[in-house]
A and B are shown apart, each in its own frame.
Chain A
């Protein structure tokens, strides 16, 4: 965590941070619904469905990092897998998708499971 003086010398723009998190949130909730659709069509039940969801969320986070964050973040001298150039908390970036998209996942999973197996 940078000290107060460092923050004042190179300040963090709050609006950009909010915009970044909102973009990430939109991606997470949309992909979670789509994962629900695929889990329902595949007919996954109980644990395998949840494992499917967790694994695919992590894959999404990794892809997002590799395609959007890594090119400029690595070029500016950050270590690999460090998202602090664009996002405040590493936890929000890597695991936030699990929380944000869960309700949407359950909804579409139930819907498509019901439609397919009826």
Chain B
């Protein structure tokens, strides 16, 4: 079997100074810029009126009582449960008790909801605009030649991705053009941002997409279009079915078992 000769291409060493480093530096600076733009554009939480706050807090109160019932003694848990269930079912904590039973308003017409969507739009914009700009910048200035060789072999399928704009049929797919260096930077710069900006930064769009998957619960709970009355009724039901036990049940036995004479 004939050995396939290793392709070597003579490249100008200046390629590194004029292509590789500019792209990398621009990517890092864009990440830093995106981080600070997100920090600056983050709108402060809107002040809510007393009624709305009471509605949310009392629901959270019920949830916390349900989650931590084991640290309460039996009588105090029963007292809390009875008081909460009565208030929930009578609608005492509702923002406007008159609108019980009516369908919730259309979320599109609620100005608060529009505000939340604007925030999301701003985040999306902060992600999409720099990416588009950088990609078109790289395509305009640095396309049509290869700059580097990957240290590991790839199949021929990757050729069209890595060597976009280089129409050379027999070239090894390990050679990569500047646009593929850009993709590598997108995926691999997270540690650099962690190092520069601290670990909860907003620089990398990958991490942001991960975050968007995660904590949906908190935002959805008081989101627009959710009927608080229904939430209260469901919570009252949850509280009613709890089988109470305390952490102090049988504590004497545990203490005696733990003492070694």
Contacts and interface: CB of A to CB of B under 8 A. Distances in A.
A107 interface: yes
A96 interface: no
B128 to A, nearest CB: 21
B149 A49 contact: no
Interface in A67-112: 101, 103-111
Contacts of B187: 103, 106-107
Contacts of B103: none
Nearest to B153: A46
A1 interface: no
Contacts of A107: 184-185, 187-189
Nearest to A36: B188
A32 B151 contact: no
A92 B150 CA distance: 29
B149 A106 contact: no
A44 B151 contact: yes
A31 B24 CA distance: 20
Interface string B168-212: 000000001000010011011111101100010000000000000
A64 interface: no
B247 interface: yes
B247 A114 contact: no
Contacts, number: 74
Given A22-B199, A111-B20, A30 B151 contact: no
B192 A33 contact: yes
Interface residues of A, number: 32
Interface in A25-70: 25-26, 29-30, 32-33, 39-40, 44-46, 49-50
Nearest to B149: A114
Nearest to B148: A114
Contact of A115 (B16, B188, B192, B194): B16
B13 interface: yes
Contacts of B149: 113-114, 117
A8 B70 contact: yes
Contacts of B188: 33, 103-108
Contacts of A13: none
Contact of B184 (A5, A22, A30, A106): A106
B57 interface: no
A103 B148 CA distance: 17
A29 B151 contact: no
B11 interface: yes
B184 A110 contact: yes
B190 A40 contact: no
B152 interface: yes
A118 B187 CA distance: 24
B151 A46 contact: yes
A11 B254 CA distance: 16
A49 B194 contact: no
B151 A113 contact: yes
Greatest chain A CB density within 10 A among B24, B71, B181, B188 is at B188
Contacts of A104: 188-192
5 contacts: A8-B70, A32-B191, A33-B191, A39-B151, A107-B185
- CB-CB nearest 9 A-B residue pairs: A107-B188, A29-B191, A114-B148, A113-B151, A103-B187, A103-B188, A104-B191, A46-B152, A8-B70
Given A46-B152, A49-B151, A114-B147, 10 more contacts: A5-B245, A22-B199, A25-B199, A26-B199, A46-B151, A50-B152, A103-B188, A110-B184, A113-B150, A113-B151
